[in-house]
């Protein structure tokens, strides 16, 4: 009888566990539980004769930002060069995959799978909330309710309802579309979007359609609020910086980011806020997180969240399901369901 393949399971302290599905899989695979104290220890265990020297797959499930392994970047080239020849599949929770060296994995013939659309609802709900916050400054109002009721009267000349305003979405993928739909339906906003190509299918999901812009500056000159929902890549690093903020309408731009912090140049964002080019900010992600820019942190007119847009049991359950589906498909056919790369 052939030996069961070994699967290394890297678990977050925050996850949804599908016990029946894991039990069924355990009949076909040998699970190893990751308990390394560091990436260096992980690399040591990958060496010939080591605990992980014969693994076929790695499954990383749950909330990647929580637990003792949150800082363990095990899918970068530092570790990849030590992977055993037996390793053929990596499945990891989440939409983004900027923490993995996809090119190096592909060169090694290793599938890398994310869990697309798994946390769309959670992140889109957070995006909707941050858009509203950027118009109504409700974080500041909460501060006032707790500490200085009278200062809340200042909101009378600043708060604006978003109905009829134009929302610009950078990155019209699953999450970008969902945010646009929610803002159109709940807040009465008009939708514009920017990206490398027009997406008629996405436009059709909106009752009022959406205006496409190839040029980012052109879109920023007409929108009232911009939501960043694009993946982080070298080409999107500091996609929003001084030049982009200067393109804003005279009435000012509101900026929301639920994607990756480094897409926004935060020094430029602070300068634009001080200059009145930006008049509202809602950030779930930060350029140098977990550190938050001092001037943003100290300004209660700015809404800040600690990278928790994904934070919902719905997301964890979807992550779990997506990872096991990819593993099952790979075991059955040699190809996973949602690969990021082709090998």
Alpha helices in 47-100 (DSSP H): 77-80
Contacts of 243 (CB under 8 A, 6+ apart): 217
Question: 189-194 — which CB contacts under 8 Å span 24+ positions?
Answer: 189/131, 189/162, 189/163, 189/164, 189/165, 189/225, 190/164, 190/165, 190/166, 191/166, 191/167, 192/166, 192/167, 192/168, 192/219, 192/222, 192/223, 193/168, 193/169, 193/219, 194/168, 194/169, 194/170, 194/219
Question: Please, are residues 167 and 176 in contact by the beta-carbon 8 Å criterion?
Answer: no
- For 137, counting Cβ atoms within 10 Å of its Cβ (0-12 exposed, 13-18 middle, 19+ buried), the class is buried
**Given 260, 286, 293, 320, which residue is catalytic?**
260
Q: Which two tokens stand for residue 19?
A: 């016990």
Q: Which two tokens stand for residue 142?
A: 């909460």
Task: Based on the residue annotation, tell me whether 332 is a catalytic residue of this protein.
Answer: no
- Sort 300 into a burial class: Cβ within 10 Å, 0-12 / 13-18 / 19+: middle
238 is catalytic: no
Q: Is 289 a catalytic residue?
A: yes
Two tokens at 12?
Answer: 């977050």
Q: Which residue of the set 11, 121, 267, 289 is catalytic? A: 289
Catalytic option among 82, 246, 307, 337: 307
Catalytically active residues are: 260, 289, 307
């Amino acid at each position: 009888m052939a030996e069961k393949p070994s699967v290394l399971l890297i678990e977050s302290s925050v996850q949804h566990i599908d016990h029946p599905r894991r039990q069924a899989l355990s009949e076909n695979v040998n699970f190893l539980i990751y308990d390394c104290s560091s990436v260096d220890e992980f690399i040591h265990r990958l060496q010939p004769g080591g605990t992980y020297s014969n693994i076929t797959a790695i499954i990383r499930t749950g909330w990647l930002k929580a637990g003792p392994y949150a800082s363990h970047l095990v899918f970068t080239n530092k570790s990849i060069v030590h992977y055993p020849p037996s390793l053929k599949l990596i499945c990891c929770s989440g939409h983004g995959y900027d923490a993995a060296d996809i090119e190096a994995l592909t060169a090694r013939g290793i599938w890398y799978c994310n869990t697309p659309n798994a946390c769309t609802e959670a992140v889109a709900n957070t995006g909707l909330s941050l858009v509203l916050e950027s118009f109504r400054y409700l974080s500041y109002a909460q501060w006032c309710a707790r500490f200085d009721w009278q200062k809340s009267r200042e909101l009378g000349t600043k708060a604006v309802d978003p109905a009829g305003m134009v929302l610009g979405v950078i990155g019209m993928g699953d999450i970008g579309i969902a945010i646009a739909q929610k803002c159109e339906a709940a807040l009465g906003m008009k939708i514009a979007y920017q990206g490398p190509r027009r997406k008629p299918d996405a436009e059709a999901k909106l009752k009022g359609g959406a205006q496409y812009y190839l040029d980012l500056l052109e879109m920023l000159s007409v929108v009232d609020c911009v939501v960043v929902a694009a993946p982080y890549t070298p080409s999107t690093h500091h996609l929003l910086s001084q030049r982009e903020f200067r393109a804003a309408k005279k009435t000012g731009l509101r900026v929301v980011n639920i994607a990756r912090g480094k897409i926004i140049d935060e020094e430029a964002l602070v300068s634009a806020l001080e200059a009145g080019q930006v008049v509202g900010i809602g950030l779930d992600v930060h350029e140098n997180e977990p550190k938050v820019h001092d001037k943003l942190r100290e300004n209660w007119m700015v809404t800040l969240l600690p990278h928790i847009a994904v934070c919902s049991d719905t997301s964890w359950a979807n992550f779990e399901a997506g990872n096991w589906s990819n593993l099952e498909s790979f075991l059955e056919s040699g190809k996973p369901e949602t690969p990021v790369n082709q090998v």
